[in-house]
Amino acid sequence: MISRAIAEMPEPSSPVTALEVQPREWTPVINTTGLVRANQGAMLSTQNAGTISQVLVQNGQQVKKGDLLIELDSSVEHASLQAAQAQLPALRQTYQRYANLLKSNAVSRQEMDNAKAAYDAQLANIESLKAVITL
């Protein structure tokens, strides 16, 4: 009898709340603290030390190998080049004079060699300055 009463009992009902589904935009947000590292990066340096006179790219701009990124101030090198070029004729004259004087033994071979070395060194200095300016 008890088992029959239990079997005939109605199942307990659970209250249900129904809502109508409406589309909404949802953006998941997670607040956290951490460190962000770039997937790719680059370490930049110049061949010569100097002061940057112009930056030719913008932050975030895509660049490729060989692109000019900055210009270095070459005013000091330009001034040095002009000074070296101004000294060259005097060094050439001294060398030529010593070469002529050597023929009459008025100067030693060492003095003529020193004059030639000074002239050649100035030519090399001029070429070096030109190379630095064009970098």
The CATH number given to whatever domain includes residue 97 is 1.10.287.470
Instruction: Name the pLDDT band for 90 (thresholds 50, 70, 90).
Output: very high
pTM above 0.85, yes or no: no
- Assess if residue 100 is contained within a domain: yes
Stretch 85-90: mean pLDDT = 97
- Assess if residue 103 is contained within a domain: yes
Stretch 37-42: mean pLDDT = 74
> What pLDDT does residue 118 have?
97
Spatial contact of 77 and 133, defined as CB atoms under 8 Å apart? yes
- Assess if residue 42 is contained within a domain: no
Instruction: Name the pLDDT band for 116 (thresholds 50, 70, 90).
Output: very high
- Assess if residue 60 is contained within a domain: no
Please give the Cα distance from 62 to 70 (Å, whole number). 15
Instruction: Name the pLDDT band for 5 (thresholds 50, 70, 90).
Output: confident
Question: For residue 130, which of 71, 87, 77, 72 has the smallest C-alpha distance?
Answer: 77
Instruction: Name the pLDDT band for 79 (thresholds 50, 70, 90).
Output: very high
- Assess if residue 112 is contained within a domain: yes
Stretch 14-39: mean pLDDT = 80
The total domain count for the chain is 1
The domain of 130 spans: 74-134
Name 28's Cβ contacts closer than 8 Å, sequence gap at least 6: none
- Assess if residue 120 is contained within a domain: yes
Stretch 39-48: mean pLDDT = 77
Q: What percentage of the chain has pLDDT greater than the value 90?
A: 39
- Assess if residue 18 is contained within a domain: no
Res 38 pLDDT > 90: no
